Structure formats: structure tokens, C-alpha cells
Structure 1
Amino acid sequence: GILERLNSGEVVIGDGGFVFALEKRGYVKAGPWTPEAAVEHPEAVRQLHREFLRAGSNVMQTFTFYASEDKLENRGNYVAEKISGQKVNEAACDIARQVADEGDALVAGGVSQTPSYLSCKSETEVKKVFRQQLEVFMKKNVDFLIAEYFEHVEEAVWAVEALKASGKPVAATMCIGPEGDLHGVTPGQCAVRLVKAGASIVGVNCHFDPTISLQTVKLMKEGLQAAGLKAHLMSQPLAYHTPDCGKQGFIDLPEFPFGKTDISALSWQRNGSMEVFLPSDPGSDNSGEGYHCVFCSPRARKEYWENLRIASGRPYNPSMSKPDAWGVTKGTAELMQQKEATTEQQLRELFEKQKFPSAQ
């Protein structure tokens, strides 16, 4: 199990980033980021799990990000009506288990933040959404549970409490940086509240790069130590550089979601090891000797890539972006749950706000 592995001192590696990977491959629509591909294109989801397993992942996380019923029907995205949330969650569990059984991997069922919470619905109503997914996870007997991608610690706590009733280990990650959640709760305070709610593993995911994510996890660790609490720590960072991001992370950058290419982490940073493109001899000292590419061998050292100033190929591009400072959070009109597609009038009003920020 996950806790046995962690308690023994083992570092556990998980998969992730499915919505972006599958969007690039043509199976997920940017914007909704919902996982209907688990039903409509199961072979694509299965293939991505296998790639992660081959790369060394110890955990296959079910492709159930944004797979709650309210998210699947939000803003005219009628996946819940066409397919049903239950079918999406069941298919995702079956695919993850199939691939996990091909190696020594665990299966984690995941839930994420909900339109119901952002629309100011009650704790009872929000927890009901989580329990609908939990029923499937219990039926499919996943190994542990993950509550991920929460911008508000209050909702993350509700998710942990709902999942903890299963008796299975719960991990909880928030999409926050060093500034804390959208209501100003610090990372340390977030960690304390999540552990007290029943999480055995806490951390961050998705809105910031590895460097900033580690800074946030460090603050979580310090908060737990100050409170006399213990928990395992977890980080699922972006594969994008985010030094220019504010509290909301990279979703607040003007490049999100269709212009992210120039801020992508380099291949050697994502892979984490120069051996990925160095000599085929596993006993190599990484000097480049024995490698048969005349173009790559002179660059076969970490220092080369750490000090290289990457050019974008786009003349006059700025080195940094200016976040839009969107600032929307729970209760903001633009985030209220809505089954109908966004209307032209709503779009016009939004564009007017962008022209005249004072109108906000």
C-alpha cells in the first residue's frame, strides 16, 4: 500500500498531467478539461498510463480529474447527459487497474474542486458530489484516494472528510503557491487543516513549476512541524516555468491555455536525468564518450543546459509575462455553475471588463 511504501522510506512516483498530454494528442478539449476520453477513447488513456508505467511511475491515478457530475454538465458541457459521470469514473478505474497490474503499481482514485463549491453551495451539497465519485472508487477497489487541484482549503477539507469515510488512505494536494489559497490561508495552515481532516499525505499540484512547488511544500512542512503534526509530503508540479506567476499560478498568465509552448520546461528538466539522451551504455560516466551523435556529445553535460539561454525564435518576445490578475474566486459571477453554454451576452460583458478593469 501507499503508506507502507512511504513509511519504509521509499520515494513513490506518480503519473499525472493527463489533461494536457491528451489535449496535445487531440483527445481532451482545452477549457473544460474533462475526462470523457476514458469512455470515448479508452485506448488513448491506456497508452498514456503505460508510458508513465514504463517511465517508472509507481501509481496510476485514475483519469477522473474534473469527473464530478456538476463539472461534466457545467457551461454547456453535456458529458454527464451523453455519457454519465458514473461511466466516466468506472472506465477510468478499469483502465488504471489494468495498466497497474502490468507492473508493481498502485491505483489512486482522484477528485478535484467543483463548480458547486465555487457557486457557494452548502457543505452537504459539495460533499454529495465527492461521495458520488467515491462510490465508484469503492466499487472498483482503488488502493488509495487523492483530493487534488483545490484553490480553497475549505473545499479541500470537505473533500478529505468525504473520502476519509472510506477507510482508505487519503492524499490531498492544493494548486497553490507560497502565497497560499485564494482566501489567504497560508500553505502551513492549509497543511495543518488537511491533516486534521484526515489526510495522510499533503502537498501541492498543477499551478506552479517544480522550484516554486518545492518552496510551497517546504512551507507546508514547517507548518506541520510547528503544529506538532506528521504527514508524508507530495508534489505534482507543472512542466512549465512560472517565475512570473501570482497567487493563481499559470492559469492567470495570458499564454494560458493555447500559448504555453515557450514556457515549457526543457526535456532534460522534465526527464530529470542526463542519461535519457547520453550514451546507451548504462555504465557510462555521462562524459559523452561512446555516444554516437556528433551534434549531441559536446552538449552532454548538465552545466551546458543549466547555463544555456534559450531563444524562443519569436522576435521581440518579452522574457516574462504579466499575469492578468483575474482574481475570481468562490462566489464570483463568472464562476457560478451553469448548465447552459456561455451566452454571447455573457462573453460581451466579460470582454468589456477586460477593456475597463475599473468596471470590476
Structure 2
Amino acid sequence: MESNKKGILERLDAGEVVVGDGGYVIQLERRGYVKAGQWTPEAAVEHPEAVRQLHKEFLRAGANVLQTFTFYCSEDKLELSGNVTDITGSQINDAACDLAREVANEGNALVAGGVSQTPCYLETHNETKVKAIFKKQMDDFLKKDIDFFIAEFFEYVEEATWAVEVLKTSNKPVGATLCISPFGDMHGVPPGECAVRLVKAGADIVGINCHLDPLTCIRTVKLMKEGLEKAGLKAHLMVQPLGLHTPECCHTGYISLPEFPFAMESRSVTRWDIHKYAREAYNAGIRYIGGCCGFEAYHIRAIAEELAAERGFLPPSSEKHGLWGAALKMHTKPWVRARACREYWENLLPATGRPTCPSMATPQNE
């Protein structure tokens, strides 16, 4: 099926702000459709209505890229996770592509086929075997004619470059995001060098996703941008961070926190945190702005509302919101009506509401 919409590179080349969805894995785990620890996406086949609903929520919130729910969908990961349902990676890929395309067609959205890190890389470091896994996934996506690819959630830039090299053979645009900190990948390769390697491998878009909070991820993308500029290379920039506060984390990110994965709610970012994040990302030159684990539809809406002037429109869900608390002007309580302004929410320091909550945790294995 040929897309009649502007492609991702055409949009980014024109300076358009592209908002990407995210947060599928954690949201579906919390709703009872994905098992924590395994995080594999059988729900695309087993419970398509749940995946479809999340796509619809993100689209209504302002996303103009819907990612296929194919995180950790390599056969080796499915086997390692104890997949006893006999659902194959190809079945999941097919179903996930169909769901994303069905909802994307309801709006001016693109479909991005996603691949992620593999157990095979750490077990074998065999380039041929790892690339064969990516090739199999790519072939599934090409049958469905997705609009572009995203290689995401890579802790090692070497594996990410292998993914990019395979995906570029499709002749479709490729974005590549690493889940690394400002200190670099798990082999200590600095963010700037990581970006250079990804672009030389063929990535059109580079950036950061998952593992760390929004402002930390922006810091890392800035380092990637500096590395590209020093090397005389160009690429579009992308960021899809956690929807969680993780200031004490370093290399391994939120998975090193004692609260991971079942007690992270107290770290959730507010919609107002996301307004600040979206503006800082835009000011840093990032034009593909979205979210990953912990992001919900109202966070995506906050990106879209903060950048409404740059994008030229508000998302449909803003009809039920009101910018900066404007809807509160009709509240029955005068002290709540007084909160119907940007100044109040920008200056608010939210409390946790937890009497015994420490201000910081001690990350493990950092």
C-alpha cells in the first residue's frame, strides 16, 4: 500500500515537528496484557483491541507517527522469554503492522516499524547471526509497506549500527535511537561518537530513547549533535525518553532503581514537566519528539500543545483539556479557579503524597 502522506524525511527536512507515540510496553503491562521482565509483544495477536486502543489514544493526543508494537519481537527474545503460545515473531509483526496502519489511516499519521536489541548480540557477538535476525524482521515489515524504520533501545552502538546497515537495504528512511546516558554506551563509546557511527552506517535520524528521564535524554542528544557537527555530518535528531524522573541514574538507567518495575508510579512526570521537556527539545534542534516507557496519551498531548504554534494545530484531545488549565475557570471552587493560568502550573512544585518517600534512591549496578 502506497502512503499518500508526506514521508518522515520530507516532514523533517521542512522543519516540521514530528511527535512520536510511546509507552506501549508499560501501559499494556499495567493493563494486564504484557508480562513484566519479558516485555514481549504477543498482545498484538492475543489482544489486538488493547493495542488498537492505545494507538487511538496516542493519535488523538497528537502523535503523527505510530510505532508498531513489536518491541523485543525477535525470535531469540521470544524463545528466551518462555513464549509458550506458539505465536511466531512474524505473526506478531504482521498483526502489529496491520493495527498501526489501521489507526494511522484515521489521521495524518505515519507507521514506523520498530526493531530492538537482541539476546543474540550479547550471547554471540556474531555479526552475521544478529544481522540475520534484523533481516527477518525487516522482511516482515516490508510486506506491510511501513513508512520508515526505527532501530530503538540499543545499549551498544555496535549492535545498533548492524541494525541500521540491514534496514538501509530496504531503501526506506531509518531512525536509530540508543538507550544510553551522557556517559555513552555500555562499552563506553561517547554519545558523539555513537551518533557518528550511526550516521555513517546509514541512519537518517539519530537520538535517544528510554532508560532515563526527559532532560537527561536531551543532554545526551545534544552531545550526539556536537559529535556530528565536529565530524561534518548531518542527521535529524530524535528523542523519546522515559515519562519518569530518574535523576540519580547513570548507565543502566531506571532498571537499576529499587522501584523497577512495579513501584515506579511516584516518579511519573506531570504534563507540565512535559511542556518544559518539549520546549527544551525543540530549542536544542530536535524535531522528532516523543516518549517511551511511562508516557501516556496526556503526555503526548502536552508535547503537541506546547509546540502547537510550531506545528500549526492542536490535537483533537485538546478539545477536552484547555491550555494551561483554562477549563478550571468554570470550577465551582474559587481557589481552584485561581489555578486556571500558566504561571500557577509552571511554578508548582508537586508533592509526592508519600509520607515515607525518600528524595532519592540508591541505584544498583551503576
Which range, TM-score by smaller chain? 0.7 to 0.9
- Whether contact under 8 Å (1:279, 1:289) holds in the other structure is no
Distance 1:237 1:281, change over 3 A: closer
Q: Distance in 2 between matches of 1:297 and 1:155?
A: 53
User: 1:314 maps to what in 2?
Assistant: 354
Distance 1:91 1:244, change over 3 A: same
Q: Pairwise mapping of residues 133-144 of structure 1 onto structure 2 (< 5 A)? A: 133-144=137-148
Partner letter of residue 171 of structure 2? Answer: G
- Whether contact under 8 Å (1:178, 1:187) holds in the other structure is yes
Distance 1:288 1:21, change over 3 A: closer
Q: Distance in 1 between matches of 2:357 and 2:103?
A: 42
Task: State the shift of 1:28 in Å.
Answer: 0.9
Q: Distance in 2 between matches of 1:129 and 1:285?
A: 46
User: 1:217 maps to what in 2?
Assistant: 221
| TM-score in terms of structure 2 length | 0.83
Residue deviations 1:298-330, cap 9 Å, x none? 22334434443433333332100111016xxxx
Task: State the shift of 1:209 in Å.
Answer: 1.2
Is 1:124 the counterpart of 2:128 in the alignment? yes
> Secondary structure, in 3 states, of the residue corresponding to 1:296?
helix
Partner letter of residue 226 of structure 2? Answer: E
Query: Paired residue for 1:171, among 169, 175, 179?
Result: 175
Q: Distance in 2 between matches of 1:278 and 1:189?
A: 40
Aligned length: 323
Distance 1:280 1:21, change over 3 A: closer
Task: State the shift of 1:296 in Å.
Answer: 3.2
Q: Distance in 1 between matches of 2:321 and 2:162?
A: 50
User: 1:24 maps to what in 2?
Assistant: 30
Task: State the shift of 1:241 in Å.
Answer: 0.4
Partner letter of residue 296 of structure 1? Answer: V
Structure (1 or 2) with the larger CA radius of gyration: 1
Query: Paired residue for 1:233, among 232, 237, 246?
Result: 237
Partner letter of residue 344 of structure 2? Answer: Y
Partner letter of residue 92 of structure 2? Answer: V
User: 1:250 maps to what in 2?
Assistant: 254
Distance 1:256 1:289, change over 3 A: closer
> Secondary structure, in 3 states, of the residue corresponding to 2:111?
strand
Distance 1:128 1:309, change over 3 A: same
User: 1:291 maps to what in 2?
Assistant: 330
User: 1:300 maps to what in 2?
Assistant: 340
- Whether contact under 8 Å (2:196, 2:227) holds in the other structure is yes
Query: Paired residue for 2:55, among 49, 53, 56?
Result: 49
Unaligned runs of 5+ in 1: 327-360
User: 1:68 maps to what in 2?
Assistant: 74
**Larger RCO, structure (CA 8 Å, separation 6 or more):** 2
User: 1:263 maps to what in 2?
Assistant: 267
Is 1:3 the counterpart of 2:42 in the alignment? no
Distance 1:280 1:206, change over 3 A: closer
Further displaced range: 199-208 or 311-320: 311-320
Task: State the shift of 1:288 in Å.
Answer: 6.9
Unaligned runs of 5+ in 2: 1-6, 274-298, 307-313
> Secondary structure, in 3 states, of the residue corresponding to 1:126?
helix
Q: Distance in 1 between matches of 2:16 and 2:271?
A: 26
- Whether contact under 8 Å (1:279, 1:290) holds in the other structure is no
Distance 1:302 1:322, change over 3 A: farther
Partner letter of residue 29 of structure 1? Answer: K
- Whether contact under 8 Å (1:108, 1:143) holds in the other structure is yes
User: 1:353 maps to what in 2?
Assistant: none
Task: State the shift of 1:78 in Å.
Answer: 3.4
Q: Distance in 2 between matches of 1:231 and 1:145?
A: 15
Q: Distance in 2 between matches of 1:85 and 1:185?
A: 31
Sequence identity of aligned pairs in percent? 62
Q: Distance in 2 between matches of 1:14 and 1:170?
A: 14
Q: Distance in 2 between matches of 1:229 and 1:183?
A: 23
Task: State the shift of 1:279 in Å.
Answer: 10
Q: Distance in 2 between matches of 1:170 and 1:281?
A: 34
User: 2:42 maps to what in 1?
Assistant: 36
Aligned-residue CA RMSD (Å): 2.3
Is 1:185 the counterpart of 2:225 in the alignment? no
Distance 1:293 1:63, change over 3 A: farther
Distance 1:268 1:278, change over 3 A: farther
Task: State the shift of 1:291 in Å.
Answer: 2.8
| TM-score in terms of structure 1 length | 0.84
Query: Paired residue for 1:111, among 105, 110, 115?
Result: 115
Q: Distance in 2 between matches of 1:23 and 1:285?
A: 30
